Structure 1
Amino acid sequence: MAMAITSGGGATGGIVFPLVAQQLLPKLGFPWTMPVMGFIMLANAMVVIAFMRGRLPPRKSGPIVEWSAFRELPYVLFCIGGFLNLWAVYFAYSYISTFSHDIIGVSASTSLTVLLITNAVGIPGRAIPAFIADRYTGPLSMYIPMSLAAGIVLYGWVAVHDFPGLLAFSVLYVDLSKMGTRTGMVFPIVSLATLTGPPLAGALIGLRNGDFLYAQIFGGTAFVAGSLILVGARFAHTRSDWRRQI
């Protein structure tokens, strides 16, 4: 839950920085808008550095890479599933504004509003599942249906042809984002997915001459495939004990 609340800052930034850009770029231009954004980040970091304290005393750290983890089937499947999910997750954030303007035909300001809505929904979209995971299901057991639902919603994006449908999509689509060495080992793997996912989606959009169909199918398929692999990771760890929190 604490990690989910912290990651909500990403959704908050997704609201603040587009608004800053919208207001300052026409007035100050790019060379002055970027330093303003930098000072916002600097002020935030200064507050964190001044007041944040460790809750627990330092402990002896483990190895940077625990190679034996990759001999465990549940962990390997978790890495693969996480990669596929993160391959698709930022596609909507990167292109929903473009889709709004170029495909639906709304104004530039309205397309920004759609992006802001998508980011704003990410705040409860992170916190509520995390609360349920802490209390009832465990993080992986919540991660699987959430990622599967995101894949289904991405498939549903294909059927969006008007502004009300676009608003419904932007509200339903939520971002998906453990502690210790093994979690740290996952980050370099999924970082490749977040790096290559949006450019790959952009290339697929280019193949259709600006139409989003191939990219939407790619995103939905990656999410669904990742979800099914995560189901395999859970089964490999708990076998048939589906009520176990994990």
Structure 2
Amino acid sequence: MSKPDEEKNSGSSGAATVSVQETNTEVKKVLPTFPDGGTRAWLVVLGVAALNFATFGMTVSWGAFQSYYEQTLLHDYSSSTISWIGSLQFALIFMPGVFTGRILDMGYHKLPLGLASAFYVLCTFLTAECKEYYQFLLCQGFGMGLACGFIFPPTLGIVSQWFHKRRATAFGITASGTSLGGIVFPILIRFLLPSLGFKWTVRVLAFIVAFALLLGFLATKTRIPPRPIKKWFNADVIADQGLLFYSAGSFFAFLGMYAILTFLAVSAVVKGIDRSSAFYFVSIMNGASIVGRLSAGVLGDIFGPLNLLIPFTFIAGIVSYAWPYAHNYGGFVGISIVYGMAFGAYVGLLPSPAASLGPIETVGERVGFQLSFMSIAILIGSPIAGAIRARPLGFRGTGIYAGSCIMLAVVCLVLTRRVAKKTWFRGKI
């Protein structure tokens, strides 16, 4: 080979080396970094836990409201009709997820959070003044639910911006705020109603909610700066097969999961347990869910969140089948504890797989799509369960319905794992 050719090849090789080095440098710059700890990151966790306490925590306390309304203010309405208030509130927490997720992906958080928080507090105070069914449906169902829908879903994306290796643990801690709300609010309702009456009881709840929302507003912060979004809906993101299977699993799970949350206290009263004692079952369930959320979060980082979701969801299905056969106080306590732990683990790990199925830049859209899709199930799940309860099988029929829906969710979760890892059993995911 001639010398010019050698120099030419040498120059090409050098250029190629420089090109590879430059490419690697660019890739390193593009790859996101996660604090996975530190004061600022843990303050975000604290703030999100406070927001969960005020929004989702109030929502999972619906069973206490359902039991009270059936016995007093709305006793002329059927159980299924009253449950539409809670179902609407549940559903609207998740329904705006696609929209609010994209707002978060654009880097905006404080303004939507502040406006939604003010509206939520206002609707809570207005609920205290309600007397007619349509008023409860508008204020507690639509108003509070929609406000929560602009507060809760973005918090899942915010946590994902700060944590990666310890994401499941962070989600478990923030989700414990929901459980704490589910403990505190029913107990407050139980103790305050006899002495203060309905109006001042709800007003006290509103003041507590306002304080928690203020704490969440001050403590939370996004890491992605504001940036333009070319289109609101990215078909490539939401058409991912793994995300679709996972979203379907969430849909079937929430068709059945809120049956026990909604009707546990009611079923206990029907079985002859004192109403004041039945109120505590919701709090016991949410107390047990704290254990489920925290333990599942830590174990999820070790074994993979989806790997943990599958067995915990299966347990929730089994307990749903067994729930109607509880006939005494001990039986209902047992159902409350076991189901609370399984439900807590499920909700605590719920956003982790969706957040991990793509890049951080579109985490809001992925999680938002999942939440919006499953919100349809939340809207119709409890009314369907209430309608089945009115049939000859009663709560046994409701348990069969709820348990079967949750078992379908288990199948979808297994299929999600198969698509994502190309294997049925091995690998962390």
TM-score (norm 1): 0.91
120 and 61 in structure 1: CA distance in 2 versus 1, 3 angstrom threshold: farther
What is the correspondence of 1:229-244 to structure 2 with a 5 Å cutoff?
A: 229-240=412-423, 242-244=425-427
In structure 1, the partner of 2:318 is 152
245 and 60 in structure 1: CA distance in 2 versus 1, 3 angstrom threshold: farther
In structure 1, the partner of 2:387 is 203
In structure 2, the partner of 1:212 is 395
1:158-184 alpha-carbon deviations (Å, 9 max, x no partner): 432332222211111032223412111
Q: Is the 8 A contact 2:325 2:396 kept in 1?
A: no
What is the correspondence of 1:33-182 to structure 2 with a 5 Å cutoff?
A: 33-50=201-218, 52-54=219-221, 56-58=223-225, 60=227, 64-103=232-271, 105-136=272-303, 138-174=304-340, 175=343, 176-177=346-347, 178=351, 179=355, 180=363, 181-182=365-366
Aligned equivalents of 1:168 and 1:154: distance in 2?
A: 12
> Residue 33 of structure 1: CA displacement?
1.8
Across the aligned residues of Structure 1 and Structure 2, the Cα RMSD in angstroms comes to: 1.9
1:12-34 alpha-carbon deviations (Å, 9 max, x no partner): 11111112212222222222222
> Residue 83 of structure 1: CA displacement?
0.3
196 and 118 in structure 1: CA distance in 2 versus 1, 3 angstrom threshold: same
Q: Percent identity?
A: 27
In structure 1, the partner of 2:410 is 227
Give the AA of the match of 1:106: I
1:28-65 alpha-carbon deviations (Å, 9 max, x no partner): 22222222111110011122223x14373537576543
Q: Secondary structure at the match of 1:54?
A: coil
Q: Is the 8 A contact 2:310 2:413 kept in 1?
A: yes
Aligned equivalents of 2:220 and 2:279: distance in 1?
A: 37
Partner residue of 2:181 out of 4, 7, 13 = 13
Aligned equivalents of 2:333 and 2:204: distance in 1?
A: 30
Q: Secondary structure at the match of 1:207?
A: coil
Aligned equivalents of 1:118 and 1:71: distance in 2?
A: 36
TM-score (norm 2): 0.53
1:2 aligns with 2:170: yes
> Residue 241 of structure 1: CA displacement?
5.9
In structure 2, the partner of 1:27 is 195
Q: Is the 8 A contact 1:150 1:173 kept in 2?
A: yes
Q: Secondary structure at the match of 1:75?
A: helix
Name structure 1 gaps, 5 residues minimum: none
Aligned equivalents of 2:186 and 2:239: distance in 1?
A: 43
Who wins on radius of gyration, i.e. which is larger?
2
Aligned equivalents of 1:156 and 1:14: distance in 2?
A: 23
> Residue 218 of structure 1: CA displacement?
0.7
Q: Secondary structure at the match of 1:29?
A: helix
Give the AA of the match of 1:39: F
Structure ranking higher on relative contact order (CA contacts 8 Å, 6+ apart): 1
